[in-house]
């Protein structure tokens, strides 16, 4: 296992962290964790050098934390730093801070949480927590030993990310969605570099875009095959991340022992500045090739927003495009369900106000019913109008 500096802390983290969001299950119900196999996987990873385990209050329908607490028995808790997250969207009063943290410590069978994150911060979540005094509360929880280090995970635009980083000098780390397709989305590469320059450790989630960058369509695989050095698509994605010195640890949500073993092998071969200029150029060509497969030329500039009827136009287009680009229609349909119902494509009333503002001249009102038919009703994809 390769180890890397964790921000300003005097501690080395394993290049690979175990993300406990996609553990194997025995049914379609995420609560039905295959405890025997998942425990075997986590302990195997720890035995082979992984020292960072990440979970959260809602993972596996709430069953994730209790399972992780059990899996880390028999001495495994002492071998790792454990991360979990305050469910930001559930917080109503300042008293909820203690209530959730104490419940999580009980579920995880631990007296303290090594790395505690404010989960899934967006502007509204952050402003609510901030106004309720979450920073002052967290400093108290650090002082009394219930948490060791404080951070946040993030899902919003770069400007919000920078605002949160700058709002508190005591952040120890942050967690961002980042991969070779997301260099400009959410915090993006600018956020990675900004946080690292401030001394924060940066934990990477969705390194393979929820599996979308694995088993690519034929045109993409042909590009990977053109490289002198043979790597799987997953390994290319991971090595691209580990190549960057600002990356502290890459979380992988592993569902099978095979994935654990493959990712451990990738981590063993990782290193800062280990990719050649030609290899980095190849990753750029792969990104461009994926983007060329995109059927709707939306750049997520946001000029079309706000929609007078509340439709989240860029997000609907992003989900639709990803289904085509990555040849993963079922994942796109699953992602569509995460969009609030009132913001989905079928809420469009074809007023065409957005089309007057769109710099790409996209016929938005024509695409919206197609997006909904494909993503909600299972119709065949349309690649152009």
Q: Is 313 exposed, middle or buried (CB count within 10 Å of its CB: 0-12, 13-18, 19+)?
A: buried
Helical residues (DSSP H) of the chain, grouped into ranges: 35-47, 64-71, 95-107, 123-131, 134-143, 158-167, 188-197, 218-225, 233-242, 257-268, 277-292, 313-325, 329-336, 364-377
CA distance 2 to 103: 34
Q: Note whether residue 32 is domain-resident.
A: yes
CA distance 261 to 55: 20
Question: Is pLDDT above 90 for 8?
Answer: yes
Q: Note whether residue 288 is domain-resident.
A: no
Q: Are residues 305 and 161 in the same domain?
A: no
Q: Are residues 262 and 168 in the same domain?
A: yes
pLDDT-derived band at 302 (thresholds 50, 70, 90) equals confident
**Coil, helix or strand at residue 331:** helix
Q: Are residues 188 and 60 in the same domain?
A: yes
Single out the residue in 262, 283, 304 at which a domain terminates.
283
Model pLDDT for residues 276-296, shown as the tens digit of each residue: 999 999 999 999 999 999 999
Classify residue 307 by its DSSP letter: P
What is the count of structural domains for the chain? 2
Q: Which helix (H) or strand (E) holds 44?
A: helix 35-47
Q: Are residues 120 and 237 in the same domain?
A: yes
Q: Are residues 269 and 301 in the same domain?
A: no
Q: Note whether residue 166 is domain-resident.
A: yes
Model pLDDT for residues 226-252, shown as the tens digit of each residue: 999 999 999 999 999 999 999 999 999
Q: Are residues 225 and 262 in the same domain?
A: yes
Single out the residue in 229, 262, 283 at which a domain terminates.
283
Q: Note whether residue 22 is domain-resident.
A: yes
- Tell me how far apart the terminal alpha carbons of the chain are, to the nearest angstrom: 49
Determine how many CB atoms are found less than 10 A away from the CB of residue 80: 19
Q: Note whether residue 381 is domain-resident.
A: yes
Q: Are residues 352 and 225 in the same domain?
A: no
Structural domain that includes position 275: 3-283
At 384 the pLDDT is: 86
Q: Are residues 105 and 10 in the same domain?
A: yes
CA distance 144 to 112: 10
14 phi and psi, to 5 degrees?
Answer: -65, 145
Q: What is the pTM of this model?
A: 0.91
Model pLDDT for residues 89-124, shown as the tens digit of each residue: 999 999 999 999 999 999 999 999 999 999 999 999
Q: Are residues 54 and 178 in the same domain?
A: yes
User: Which CATH number is 21's domain given?
Assistant: 3.20.20.100
What angle separates helix 329-336 from helix 364-377, to the nearest 10 degrees? 100
Q: Note whether residue 87 is domain-resident.
A: yes
Q: Are residues 278 and 300 in the same domain?
A: no
97 phi and psi, to 5 degrees?
Answer: -60, -55
The pLDDT mean for the chain works out to 96
Q: Are residues 268 and 300 in the same domain?
A: no
Give the sign of the dihedral formed by CA 211, CA 55, CA 338, CA 30.
positive
The answer to whether 203 and 175 are in contact (CB under 8 A) is yes
Q: Are residues 264 and 355 in the same domain?
A: no
Q: Note whether residue 85 is domain-resident.
A: yes
Percentage of residues of the chain with pLDDT beyond 90 = 97
CA distance 65 to 227: 41
């Amino acid at each position: 296992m390769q180890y890397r500096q964790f921000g300003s802390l005097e501690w080395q983290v394993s290049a690979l962290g175990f993300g406990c969001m996609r553990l194997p299950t025995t049914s379609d119900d995420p609560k039905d964790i295959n405890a025997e196999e998942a425990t075997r996987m986590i302990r195997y990873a720890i035995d082979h050098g992984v020292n960072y385990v990440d979970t959260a209050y809602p993972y596996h329908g709430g069953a994730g934390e209790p399972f992780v607490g059990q899996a880390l028995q028999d001495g495994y808790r002492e071998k790792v730093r454990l991360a979990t997250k305050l469910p930001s969207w559930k917080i109503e009063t300042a008293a909820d801070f203690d209530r959730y943290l104490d419940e999580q410590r009980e579920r995880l069978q631990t007296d303290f949480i090594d790395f505690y994150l404010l989960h899934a911060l967006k502007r509204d979540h952050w402003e609510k927590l901030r106004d309720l005094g979450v920073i002052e509360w967290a400093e108290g929880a650090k002082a009394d030993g219930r948490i060791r280090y404080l951070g946040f995970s993030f899902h919003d635009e770069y400007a919000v990310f920078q605002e949160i980083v700058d709002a508190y000098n005591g952040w120890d780390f942050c967690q961002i969605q980042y991969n070779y397709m997301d260099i400009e989305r959410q915090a993006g590469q600018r956020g990675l570099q900004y946080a690292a320059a401030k001394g924060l450790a940066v934990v990477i989630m969705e390194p393979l875009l929820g599996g979308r960058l694995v088993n690519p369509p034929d045109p993409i695989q042909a590009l990977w095959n053109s490289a002198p050095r043979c790597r799987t698509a997953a390994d290319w994605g991971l090595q691209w991340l580990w190549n960057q010195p600002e990356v502290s640890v890459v979380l992988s949500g592993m569902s099978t022992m095979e994935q654990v073993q493959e990712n451990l092998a990738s981590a063993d071969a990782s290193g800062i500045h280990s990719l050649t200029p030609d290899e980095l150029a190849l990753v750029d060509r792969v990104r461009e090739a994926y983007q060329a497969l995109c059927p709707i030329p939306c750049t997520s500039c946001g000029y079309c927003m706000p929609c007078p009827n509340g439709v989240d136009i860029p997000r609907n287009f992003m989900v639709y495009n990803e289904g085509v680009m990555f040849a993963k229609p079922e994942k796109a349909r699953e992602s569509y369900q995460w969009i609030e119902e009132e913001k989905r494509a079928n809420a469009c009333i074809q007023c065409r106000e957005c089309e007057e503002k769109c710099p790409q001249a996209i016929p938005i009102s024509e695409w919206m019913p197609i997006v909904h038919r494909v993503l909600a009703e299972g119709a065949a994809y349309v690649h152009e109008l």
